[in-house]
Amino acid sequence: MAGAIKDLFDRTYDELKDDKGMYKKPYAVVISAGNDGTGALTHIERILRGYRFKKVQNPIICKGAVTEEALAKCYELGRTIAEGVKAGIF
């Protein structure tokens, strides 16, 4: 997991873990990795369970160089989550 993401989690976890307004907020994970990305995914999802966020999409893991196909998947994921929040689904 990138250092900036780990730092974000470290700085916000204690403050937000019991915040009722954060309960079941939607999330999805996007990873760009030189390897298979499963280690980062395991750690990120464990932390997000502690926040009690709601996983709404399977992760997108781009191995190696970021491709146009991966970017298109990320764009569509963002649109899906935005529309789901707007419609009250998430």
Q: How many domains does the chain have?
A: 1
pTM of full prediction above 0.85: no
pLDDT digits (tens, 9 = 90+) for 43-62: 999 988 888 888 999 999 99
Per DSSP, the three-state class of 47 is helix
Domain enclosing residue 39, as ranges: 3-86
CA atoms within 13 A on the CB side of 32: 11
What does the block give as tokens for 80? 């899906």
Q: What is the DSSP letter of 27?
A: E
Vertex 78, ends 43 and 6: CA angle to 5°? 25
pLDDT band of 42, cuts 50, 70, 90 = very high
The packing angle between helices 38-51 and 3-16, to 10°, is: 20
pLDDT of 76: 95
Average pLDDT, the chain: 89
**Average pLDDT, integer, range 60-87:** 93
